[in-house]
Amino acid sequence: MDRKTFCDNLVKVYVMNVFQLQYHKSSVLVATLAGVPTIGALLMFIMLYHLPINTSFWLISMLITTFLLIMILVLRWIIKTQIFVPCTVSIEQEQMKLEITENNLFYNKRNFSALWENILSIEEKFSIQHGNYSYTVIFTAPYFKANFSMKEHYEDEAENFFSLLRSYQENKKISNIHQQKQITKDFHDRLASN
């Protein structure tokens, strides 16, 4: 099956479907998991450094415990609301579009679109912690890595989107095999005619 036939079939089944998902970048998540505790620890040490020498051990322990609790709560808030953000993904005949629907601290680029031909790979991952699947889609032009997971209360939409990605990946492999066979056949036909 060639790419055009696949895209035509895709449109028949999913005529410009829009899916509500969650989006995140792994690099932003890792940087936040490393950066927030580092900054929090530095602030805590600066605060402790400025305490009088005769401060009681009980007060210092309470300050450290309070500061750690605040740091954990801030980190959880950042991860839940600023890193894993709601997005809308629309599937069209020629391309896939991503739109981040809420303001956030980390993602300046709120809209992205790429042609189906520019999808390099689709990887499925299972999260033991959350008990669900997420998908990483890597685009080639421009190079961009998008991680998608289920948005709460939109499980059916996510399943439809993920099954579409799976079928796209399978059809792309089949299409590439047919293209390679056709190129080889054309090459041999040209050699035979010369």
CATH number for the domain spanning 135: value is 2.30.29.30
Query: Which pLDDT score, from 0 to 100, does residue 184 have?
Result: 58
Q: Does 93 share its domain with 78?
A: no
Q: Does 159 share its domain with 144?
A: yes
Q: Does 135 share its domain with 58?
A: no
- Which of 39, 57, 82 corresponds to the end of one domain? 82
Q: Does 155 share its domain with 184?
A: yes
Query: Which pLDDT score, from 0 to 100, does residue 177 have?
Result: 47
Q: Does 70 share its domain with 102?
A: no
Which helix (H) or strand (E) is 143 found in, with range?
Answer: strand 143-150
Q: Does 13 share its domain with 105?
A: yes
Q: Does 91 share its domain with 174?
A: yes
pLDDT tops 80 at residue 194: no
Query: Which pLDDT score, from 0 to 100, does residue 1 have?
Result: 52
Q: Does 129 share its domain with 105?
A: yes
Strand 95-100's sheet: what is its strand order?
111-115, 95-100, 85-91, 17-24, 143-150, 132-140, 119-127
pLDDT tops 60 at residue 183: no
Q: Does 39 share its domain with 103?
A: no
Query: Which pLDDT score, from 0 to 100, does residue 185 have?
Result: 58
* Beta-ladder partners of 86: 22
Decide: helix, strand or coil at residue 178. Answer: helix
pLDDT tops 80 at residue 174: no
Residue in the structure block whose two tokens are 């939409």 = 157
Q: Does 56 share its domain with 104?
A: no
Decide: helix, strand or coil at residue 54. Answer: coil
Question: What does the DSSP 8-state code read for residue 82?
Answer: I
Q: Does 76 share its domain with 91?
A: no
Rounded to 5 degrees, what are φ and ψ at 83? Answer: -100, -55
Q: Which two tokens stand for residue 189?
A: 């036909």
**Sign (positive or negative) of CA dihedral 138, 144, 145, 151:** negative
Q: If pLDDT is split at 50, 70 and 90, which confidence band does 178 have?
A: very low
pLDDT tops 90 at residue 160: no
CB under 8 Å to 181, separation ≥6 — which residues? none
- Which of 82, 101, 126 corresponds to the end of one domain? 82
Which helix (H) or strand (E) is 188 found in, with range?
Answer: helix 155-193
**What is the count of structural domains for the chain?**
2
Q: Does 119 share its domain with 181?
A: yes
- Which of 82, 105, 120 corresponds to the end of one domain? 82
Look up the domain containing 20 and give its range.
3-25+87-193
Q: If pLDDT is split at 50, 70 and 90, which confidence band does 74 have?
A: very high
Q: Nearest 5°: CA angle at 81, between 75 and 85? A: 130
pLDDT tops 60 at residue 16: no
The residue-averaged pLDDT of 117-127 equals: 79
The residue-averaged pLDDT of 173-187 equals: 53
Q: pLDDT averaged over the chain?
A: 79
Per-residue pLDDT reduced to its tens digit, 75-105: 999 998 898 898 888 877 677 888 888 888 8
